[in-house]
Amino acid sequence: MRMTIGQRIGALVAVIMTMVIVSSVLSYRSIDDVMAAMQLRKLSSEIELQLNEVITDLLNAETGQRGFIITAEDAYLEPYTKSVAAIGKLLDGLRAATVSDAVLQRKFVRLEQLVQTKVADMATSISIRREKGFEAAQSAILTHHGLKSMDDVRKALDEMEIHQHKVHDERIRQAAASVDRAKLTMLVMALLSLLVSALASWVVTRSITKPLTQLAIGTEKLGSGDLDHRIEGLGDDETGNLAKAFNAMAARLNGMLVSASAQAAQRDKVLAAVTETALQLATSSQELLAGATQQATGMQEQAAAIVETATVVDEVAHTATQALERAKFVATAARRSEEVGMAGKQAVDETVQAILLANGQAGSVAGNIASLAAQTQAIGEIVALITDIADQTNLLALNAAIEASRAGEHGRGFSVVATEVKSLAEESKQATRRVRQILGDIQKMANTAVLSTEEGARGMATATKQADNAGQKIQQLGSVIAEVADAASQIAASAGQQANGLTQIHQAIRDIRQVSTQNLAATHQAQRAATDLATLGTNLTALLAASRVTDG
């Protein structure tokens, strides 16, 4: 909740006032209590006083009574009469004073009865003296009735007095307590008021000074040229309104400044464009000048090149004459080479023929060897058969030996034959074993021969191919040489034409040289014009720069 400054100050005052009122009321009530206690104390003192008066009056009355009884003179009776009247009044006053205390009232009622009894006793003794004389009165008094009643009164009075003392002390204590309470209340209230007032004052002061400080800072910033500064968040109170007014002022100032600077910028832009153009003009002129200079240099170089070209053309013409002679020589040599190539090709062809023949012969040798190997195999089979037969013969010989043994002495000769047969069989077996070994060797060699023949055939095929290749190469070489010979003839012809052409080129170059000299003169003129233009551009730029400096 935001309040205006006035409202805030009002609220502060209201708070302080409330505190003052509350403490006043509390102090007042404390003082009231003290007053009441004082009143009660005063009342107690009065009752005590009256009680003392009662006993005094009773004693006075007794004194009067005694005087009258002794003397029977009415003058002595006067204190008695006065005292009795005073006692009646005192008793009335005491009744009223003891109404507030029930115990005291009860004691008072008893005291009243006792006092009235005593007064009645005294009245009785006085009337006895007056009517029956001194003796009767003396005997009545000697009953000691009067003395006893007086003691009772004293006792009742003492009781009342003791009670009254107690009440009195109580009252005094209450009064003292009230005073203490009042003191404490006032002290506490004073401290509380001080605290609350201080706090409220601090809050209000702070709420007022803070926005004011902000405003001061904003104003300072505005003064130092910061036109974009705004003060925000101060609400709707007086300082808020002040901040709004400040913001509006800053906005207005800023707007004015912005329009002024826009105009300045516009002018600067135009001036810059003009300067830019002048600069461009200067640059272009300079470039133009540079171009013209370069062109002039180029022209000079061209003239030099033309002279050089003329020299080179002369040299070329000389070289062409030499080339013509050499080409003729080459053509002759080429023709001779062609003839040699043809002879070489023929020799190669013959070689190929010889190789092919040798190849055919090697092939037939290989065939023969192969059939030899096949026949060796057939021989092997026959040998196996022989081995088998030898085996069987061996068995037969053994069996024959067995039979011979069985025949005993008769078979002895047969046994020898059988042994011979057996050894023959063994020998033939040995022989076949040897044949088989030789056959194996032959077969192995035949295989090797076939293999090497095949290898030879392959080598011959390669040789044939290479010889063919060589023949082709020689043929190609021959045709190339023929082409070279043709080309050489053509070169010779062209060299003649070239010499003619070169003479014409020489003439043309002389013409070009003349034109080139004229061009150079024209370029020099253009160079001078470009120099003037460049000077103009530089002057203009300098002028504009000066104007800008004075303007700025």
Residues at the interface with another protein (CB under 8 A)? 395, 398-399, 401-402, 405-406, 422
Label residue 43 exposed, middle or buried (CB < 10 Å: 0-12, 13-18, 19+). middle
Residue closer to another protein by CB (options 51, 401) is: 401
Residue closer to another protein by CB (options 117, 419) is: 419
CB of 422 to another protein, least distance (A): 8
What the block records as the tokens of 397 is: 């010989």
Residue type, 127: S
Please say whether the beta carbons of 185 and 27 come within 8 A: yes
Q: Can you tell me the distance from the alpha carbon of 523 to that of 293, in angstroms, rounded to the nearest whole number?
A: 8
Report the alpha-carbon angle 135-137-138, nearest 5. Answer: 65
Q: Can you tell me the distance from the alpha carbon of 142 to that of 124, in angstroms, rounded to the nearest whole number?
A: 14
| Cα separation values, 318 from 289, 313, 506, Å | 44, 9, 13
Phi then psi for residue 99, to 5 deg, are: -55, -40
Residue closer to another protein by CB (options 416, 543) is: 416
48 closest CA partner among 168, 142, 215, 128: 168
Residue closer to another protein by CB (options 245, 402) is: 402
Query: Up-side HSE of residue 290: CA atoms within 13 Å toward CB?
Result: 6
Residue closer to another protein by CB (options 399, 535) is: 399
Residue closer to another protein by CB (options 211, 411) is: 411
Please say whether the beta carbons of 396 and 421 come within 8 A: yes
| Cα separation values, 315 from 320, 321, 494, 506, 510, Å | 9, 10, 17, 11, 16
CB of 434 to another protein, least distance (A): 21
Q: Which residue has the tokens 């090797």?
A: 448
CB of 424 to another protein, least distance (A): 14
CB of 415 to another protein, least distance (A): 8
Q: Can you tell me the distance from the alpha carbon of 231 to that of 502, in angstroms, rounded to the nearest whole number?
A: 97
What the block records as the tokens of 45 is: 């003192």
CB of 393 to another protein, least distance (A): 13
CB of 401 to another protein, least distance (A): 5
CB of 426 to another protein, least distance (A): 10
Q: Can you tell me the distance from the alpha carbon of 501 to that of 313, in angstroms, rounded to the nearest whole number?
A: 10
Residue closer to another protein by CB (options 14, 407) is: 407
Residue closer to another protein by CB (options 141, 401) is: 401
CB of 462 to another protein, least distance (A): 54
CB of 389 to another protein, least distance (A): 13
What the block records as the tokens of 396 is: 């037969």
Residue closer to another protein by CB (options 118, 422) is: 422
